[in-house]
Amino acid sequence: MKLSSPLANSLLFALLVLIMAGSAFGAGYLFRAHQSPSADFPLLGEAYQIVQNHGLKELPASPALQYGMIRGMLQAYDDPFTVFVEPVQHELESNALQGSFGGIGVELSTDAEGYVVLFPFPSGTAIEAGVQDGDRLLQVDDTPIPPGMPVSDVQSAIRGPVGETVALLIARPPDYQTQIIKIKRREVALPTVTRRLDLSDARVGILNINLIAATTASELQDAVYDLQSKGASYFVLDLRDNPGGLLDAGVDVARLFLTEGEIITRQYRGQEAETYAVDQPGPLAELPLVVVVNHGCASAAEIIAGALQARGRARLVGAPTFGKDSIQLVFTLSDQSSLHITAAQWWVPGLQYEISANGLQPDIQVEPPANADAGDTTLQAAVQAVLELAP
């Protein structure tokens, strides 16, 4: 999970500790220490010379030696969210954050019987090929998709090289007649917000945010208006496994649902604390809402959930969140590796407990089912909770 400043061009999506930042000084120093030991760190210079002159094995070539030195420095720094990322991994994570991959443009979910079901994006080859909301996925090419198969494994089966064709065997409700749909993969821009009507009650709109980006607030408004046009009156905001994103964007999302009050306070080292508050009632402030969270919900996603809980705006359903109340900055070094260092801390005014201790605590705690065939029991509990808000 990560929070980032506008200076950062990339955030790390795959890491549960997204958004962290650092200083190029450390890497620059270590490079100089490798070339000619610095007088500022005489022990490092001595150790380097001893290993170089007397070691049986040769020292690793640059940049491996420098990378090892940087990691040693960060280990001594002793902050779990301050990390060094090598160039290849940094590029992969940046690409993942940009959200482009070879796919067909669908969101995957599971129904009450554990089947994987498809919800095509408004623009994508899946909807163009005829995939409809709620289609059960039974097979991808030669790979069967049985009930209970992990969604991540299904995603891997569907994705592949741009331009190649994938064959899906689907079963369409209500009679679940099967058919094969062939779809050509193309580069898919993954939105930060996806939406659908609940399969069990079409009055409920499900809003899923997978990353907190600059466009998330506007995407969320559009998603709500679209679902309202289809008959939804009650909404579930699903933040599970959302690692975070931009702090300012998280504040903007919280503002959509609030009429007044403080959202978060943040403080950088040596600076005065700064509080973000609601300027005017948000356009979604009257929307019947519950929020779904779990341990994978972190950072900017926790800002949204924590602010809505502290202001009494929405109940949290699910499991305790990750508990990351720090802010990181991301700096790309000269070889396209990156250094990420914790730079500030944030907290939610009015919240009656510390997030960093055990994460956000749900108002309605739901344990994940032992049997995958039980379906998404947490989402089912959230739908039930939001329907209780009916007049």
| Residue 94: per-residue pLDDT | 57
pLDDT at 89: 66
- What pLDDT shows up at residue 322? 95
Q: Which of 2, 4, 109, 324 is catalytic?
A: 324
**What is residue 213's DSSP assignment?**
-
Q: Count other Cβ atoms within 10 Å, centred on residue 338.
A: 27
CA atoms within 13 A on the CB side of 313: 30
Q: Which of 94, 299, 326, 338 is catalytic?
A: 299
Measured distance CA(307)–CA(171) in Å, rounded: 41
Q: How far is CA 367 from CA 4, 153, 357, in A?
A: 31, 23, 20
State the Cα angle at 153 between 147 and 155, rounded to 5°: 105
What pLDDT score was predicted for residue 373?
65
Q: What distance in Å separates the CA atoms of residue 230 and residue 210, rounded to the nearest whole number?
A: 23
Q: What are phi and psi of 265, to 5 degrees?
A: -120, 135
**Radius of gyration from C-alpha coordinates of the chain:** 24
Give the C-alpha distances (Å, rounded to integers) separating 290 from 98, 114, 219, 220, 280: 28, 23, 18, 15, 21
**Amino acid 31: pLDDT:** 38
How would CATH label the architecture of 101-189?
A: Roll (2.30)
Of 3.30.70.20, 3.40.50.1370, 3.90.226.10, 3.30.70.2660, the CATH number of 193-325+344-387 is 3.90.226.10
Q: Which amino acid is at 253?
A: V
CB proximity list for 155: less than 8 A, separation 6 or greater: 108
Non-local (6+) Cβ contacts of 356 within 8 A are 323, 324, 325
What is the DSSP secondary structure assignment for residue 84, as one 8-state letter?
E
Contacts of 157 (CB under 8 A, 6+ apart): 140, 141, 143, 145
Cα dist. 142→165, 176, 228, 234 in Å? Answer: 13, 20, 39, 40
Q: Residue 107's pLDDT is what?
A: 86
Sequence spans of domains, the chain? 2-98, 101-189, 193-325+344-387
Whole-angstrom CA distances from 140 to 21, 156, 166, 267, 372 are 40, 10, 7, 49, 20
Q: How far apart are the C-alpha atoms of 119 and 78, rounded to whole Å? A: 43
Would you call 299 a catalytic residue per the annotation?
Answer: yes
Which of helix, strand or coil describes residue 307?
A: helix
Would you write out the chain's pLDDT as a tens digit for each of its 391 residues? Answer: 444 443 333 333 333 333 333 333 333 333 333 444 456 788 888 888 888 898 888 888 888 888 888 888 889 888 888 888 887 666 545 544 554 567 898 888 888 889 999 999 887 899 999 999 999 999 999 999 999 988 878 887 888 888 899 999 999 999 999 999 999 998 876 678 999 999 899 999 999 999 888 889 999 999 999 999 999 999 999 999 999 988 999 999 999 999 999 999 999 999 999 999 999 999 999 999 999 999 999 999 999 999 999 999 999 999 999 999 998 888 888 888 888 889 999 999 999 898 988 999 999 999 877 776 667 899 999 999 999 998 8
Paired tokens of 117: 């079901």
Is residue 57 flagged as an active site residue? no
